[in-house]
Amino acid sequence: MAPLHVVILAAGQGKRMKSRLPKVLHRLAGRTLLEHVAAAVQKLDPATIHVVYGHGGSQVRDAQSALGVQWVEQREQLGTGHAVEQAMPGIPDEATVLVLYADVPLIAAGTLRETVTATADGSLALITTPVDDASGYGRILRDDDGCVIGIVEDKDANDDQRSIREINTGILAAGAASLRGWLGRIDNNNAQGERYLTDVIALAVSDGDGARSISPGALEEVLGVNDRSQLAKLERYYQHQQAERLMGEGVTIADPSRLDIRGEVDVGQDVSLDVNVILEGNVVIAEGVRIGPNCIIKDAEIGAGSEIHANTVIEQARVGSGCRIGPYARLRPGTDLAEEVHIGNFVEVKNTRVGRGSKANHLTYLGDSRIGKKVNVGAGTITCNYDGAEKHTTIIEDDVFVGSGVELVAPITVRAGATIGAGATVTKDIPSGVLSVNRGRQTTVENWARPTKKNKAPK
Ligand code: UD1
Ligand code: CA
């Protein structure tokens, strides 16, 4: 099969977005529009991806340098045909070329594959679809046999042509050698004075190569983003699709319109998601996990049967199976919880491993710590991990009982089975099995009168 070379057109200004940010850098489900298109074509394993940029070009390049694409500048926007021409020098004759728009983010890889496959016999293939309101779009012209014979742009169309409801989505594929030839023959004698890519269709037909039309799997696949309203509509559509997929895999979703997925989510059976859950980045949720309302989970793994209660925020963390987290817990990067760990309300955990069955249920900060099994951390306990210059480690071994309101000044080690009485400020290591008490002596002052205000200020 011919190698596939992709050309993504991204030189448009996107005026209707009313934004300082180039249009293709606006985000849908957490990823830029350009990233969506690039991700779709990556699934076809192309030899190269060329992105034609113009307006705000260096900003797009800098922001998306991780995409690993080839950047092609179009200095002046002289039309879609001109834009594709800019990429052609980097594409060999034996290639198949697939052209897409960076502002049509939800195109499916399957539809693209079908389009590329349709060029196998040398014909041009383009994605078309009927729409209710075709105004503004290029219209598909067909002969009496129903064969595609060309495209007429809205501004160049006569009244008859304007009544055609089948539109050009802009996505097409063709052999590189043929496309190069056709592009060399187009001109800008049209209403907009532009070099139209769409003019290559009639040339393919007159050369006898022919043009085939491909239908998208859903209309939303080929809808473009021109303003923020269209962006929001596609976002909702996309989220609805994600929710449908999860429900298909056995997830209960309290309200599919109140779930947001901004990344890749891998779920087990019988997971349940309450309202206003946001899942970001790479999230793995094992069987039977229940996530309460208003939880944000980013780049994290939640083990089987765990319960994440309301208003919990988890980022770059691993939660083992059978854990109980929240409500109002915050698991920060580097948190690694074994099985059956309980992290309760207003507890913050960072860069900390917690062993099986340990609990920190109330108002606690655990940072840069290694906590063993069956440790009980009392309310209001704080690991003092930062001395103003460096971070230090707190080690709490198995079966330790930390009373309430304890400050553990790191670096510090509390050996297995030790008990720390409430209110201690621990600065020295505690040996195994002991009770460590460390607090000011309590005194009582008899007959003590609380001060009262002497002269109330006159009003
Ligand atoms: C284009 C098609 C039209 C189709 C419609 C679908 C042409 C001539 N017309 O019209 O048939 O129905 O898309 O949305 O192709 N671009 C560049 N450089 C340029 C001009 C455009 O990179 O010089 C990019 C834009 O950023 C955009 C895409 O090409 O992503 C389409 O350009 P636009 O001007 O929006 O074309 P339309 O007039 O909408
Ligand atoms: Ca457009």
CB burial of 376-411 (b: ≥16 within 10 Å; e: otherwise) equals bbbbbbbbbbeeeeeebbbbbbbbbbbbbbbbbbbe
Banded pLDDT at 459 (limits 50, 70, 90): low
- Rounded Cα distance between 292 and 68, Å, is 38
Other residues' Cβ atoms within 10 Å of the Cβ of residue 148: 24
Homologous superfamily of 4-222: Spore Coat Polysaccharide Biosynthesis Protein SpsA; Chain A (3.90.550.10)
Interval 160-177: pLDDT, tens: 999 999 999 999 999 999
Residue 29 Cβ inside 6 Å of ligand 1? The answer reads no
Give 376's contacts (C-beta < 8 A, 6+ positions apart): 358, 359, 400, 401, 402
Mean pLDDT to the nearest integer, 144-173 = 98
Given the residues 5, 36, 309, 362, select the one marked as catalytic.
Answer: 362
| Mean pLDDT of the residues in the chain | 96
Long-range contact pairs involving 303-306 (C-beta distance under 8 Å, separation at least 24): 303/339, 304/268
* Nearest-atom index, ligand 1, CA of 151: 11
| Ligand 1 contacts CB of residue 118 (under 6 A) | no
Pairing of strands 139-142, 330-331: unpaired
Helix spans in 100-143 (H): 109-117
Q: Which atom of ligand 1 is nearest to the CA of 226?
A: 35
pLDDT tens profile 259-297 = 999 999 999 999 999 999 999 999 999 999 999 999 999
Please tell me the residue having the least CA distance from ligand 1 atom 39: 137
Distance from the alpha carbon of residue 355 to the mean position of ligand 1, in angstroms? 57
Return the residue whose CA atom lies nearest to atom 8 of ligand 1: 196
pLDDT at 250: 98
Q: Looking at ligand 1, which atom is closest to the CA of residue 138?
A: 11
> Ligand 1 pocket, 331 CB below 6 A?
no
In this prediction, residues 393-406 reach a mean pLDDT of 98
Band of pLDDT at residue 14, cut at 50, 70 and 90: confident
Neighbours of 185 (CB within 10 A): 11
196 within ligand 1 shell (Cβ under 6 A): yes
Ligand 1 centroid, distance to 130 Cα (angstroms): 18
What's the pLDDT tens digit per position in 97-117? 999 999 999 999 999 999 999
Nearest to 103 by CA among 128, 80, 122: 80
Average pLDDT over residues 144-165: 97
Nearest to 408 by CA among 389, 436, 441, 447: 436
State the pTM of this model: 0.92
- Which of 72, 80, 172, when mutated, tests ligand 1's pocket best, judged by the most ligand atoms within 8 Å of its CB? 80
Quick one: pLDDT band at residue 455, thresholds 50, 70, 90?
A: confident
Q: Which residues contact 117 (CB under 8 A, 6 or more apart)?
A: none
Say which DSSP state 298 is in: E
- Cα–Cα distance between 298 and 30 in angstroms, integer? 11
Question: Residue 139: CB within 6 Å of ligand 1?
Answer: no
Is 200 within 8 Å of 179 (Cβ atoms)? yes
Range 298-333 burial, b when 16+ CB lie within 10 A, else e: bbbbbbbbbbbbbbbbbbbbbbbbbbbbbbbbbbbe
CA distance linking residue 252 with residue 308, whole number of Å: 15
Q: How many CA atoms lie within 13 A of 306 on its CB side?
A: 26
Residue nearest to atom 27 of ligand 1 (CA): 12
Burial class (CB in 10 A: 0-12, 13-18, 19+), 355: buried
Asked if CATH classification 2.160.10.10 holds for the domain at 228-436, the reply, yes or no, is yes
362 included as an active-site residue: yes
Domain ranges of the chain: 4-222, 228-436
Instruction: Say how many Å lie between the CA of residue 224 and the centre of ligand 2.
Output: 7
Query: Is the Cβ atom of 170 under 6 angstroms away from ligand 1?
Result: yes
Nearest C-alpha neighbor of 330 from the set 358, 355, 366 = 366
